[in-house]
Amino acid sequence: MASRCGRRWWRRHQGIQFTKIPVNLEFSVSEATVVTELRPPVALTIAGSDSGGGAGIQADLRTFAFQRVHGTAALTCVTAQNTLGVSRVDALPPEAVAAQIEAVVGDIGVQGIKTGMLLNQEIVQEVAHQVERLGLNPLVVDPVMVSRTGAKLLAEEAIVAIRERLIPLAQVLTPNRYEAQILSGLELHSLEDMKAAAERIGYQGSPAVLVKGGGMPGELQGVDVWFDGQRLEVLKTERIPTRHTHGTGCTLSAAIAAQLAWGKEPFEAVQQAKLYVTEALRHPLAIGAGQGPVGHFYPLLG
Ligand SMILES: Nc1ncnc2c1ncn2[C@@H]1O[C@H](COP(=O)(O)OP(=O)(O)O)[C@@H](O)[C@H]1O
Ligand SMILES: Cc1ncc(COP(=O)(O)O)c(N)n1
Q: Which residues pair with 12 in a beta bridge?
A: 17
Residue 22, pLDDT score: 60
- Please enumerate in sequence order all residues whose Cβ is within 8 A of that of 106, keeping only pairs 6 or more positions apart, or say none: none
Closest ligand to residue 217's CA: 1
58 lines ligand 1 (CB under 6 A): no
Other CB atoms within 10 Å distance of the CB of residue 282: 14
Chain segment 122-156, per-residue pLDDT in tens: 999 999 999 999 999 999 999 999 877 778 899 99
Q: Name the stretches of the chain with pLDDT < 50.
A: 1-14
β-bridge pairing 70-81 and 86-91: antiparallel
The per-residue DSSP string of 169-191 comes to G-SEE---HHHHHHHH-----SH
Chain segment 235-244, per-residue pLDDT in tens: 999 999 999 9
Instruction: Give the phi and the psi of residue 97 in degrees, each rounded to 5.
Output: -65, -45
Cite the active site residues.
212, 245, 247-250
The pairs formed by 286-289 with CB atoms below 8 angstroms and a separation of 24 or more are 286/14, 286/244, 287/83, 288/52, 288/82, 288/83, 288/84, 289/83, 289/84
Residue 138, pLDDT score: 98
Q: Is 200 left (phi over 0), alpha (psi -120 to 50) or beta?
A: alpha
Residue 21, pLDDT score: 60
The per-residue DSSP string of 146-157 comes to B-TTS-B-B-TT
Closest ligand to residue 56's CA: 2
Residue from 112, 103, 121, 119 nearest 266 by CA: 112
CA-CA distance, 263 to 81, in Å (whole number)? 34
Residue 151, pLDDT score: 83
Q: Which residues pair with 19 in a beta bridge?
A: 10
What is the number of the ligand 1 atom nearest to the C-alpha of 175? 22
299 Cα to the center of ligand 2, angstroms: 23
Is the Cβ–Cβ distance between 73 and 100 less than 8 Å?
yes
What is the number of the ligand 1 atom nearest to the C-alpha of 245? 8
Residue 150, pLDDT score: 78
With the most atoms of ligand 2 within 8 angstroms of its CB, the residue from 57, 117, 291 to mutate is 117
- Please enumerate in sequence order all residues whose Cβ is within 8 A of that of 199, keeping only pairs 6 or more positions apart, or say none: 227, 232
Percent of the chain clearing pLDDT 70 (strictly above): 90
219 Cα to the center of ligand 2, angstroms: 23
176 lines ligand 1 (CB under 6 A): yes
What is the number of the ligand 1 atom nearest to the C-alpha of 177? 18
Sheet holding 232-236, edge to edge: 86-91, 70-81, 42-50, 112-115, 139-141, 172-173, 209-211, 223-227, 232-236
In angstroms, how far is CA 290 from the centroid of its own chain? Answer: 21
274 Cα to the center of ligand 1, angstroms: 9
Residue 27, pLDDT score: 61
Burial 69-94 (b: 16+ CB within 10 A, else e): bbbbbbbbbbbebbbebbeebebbeb
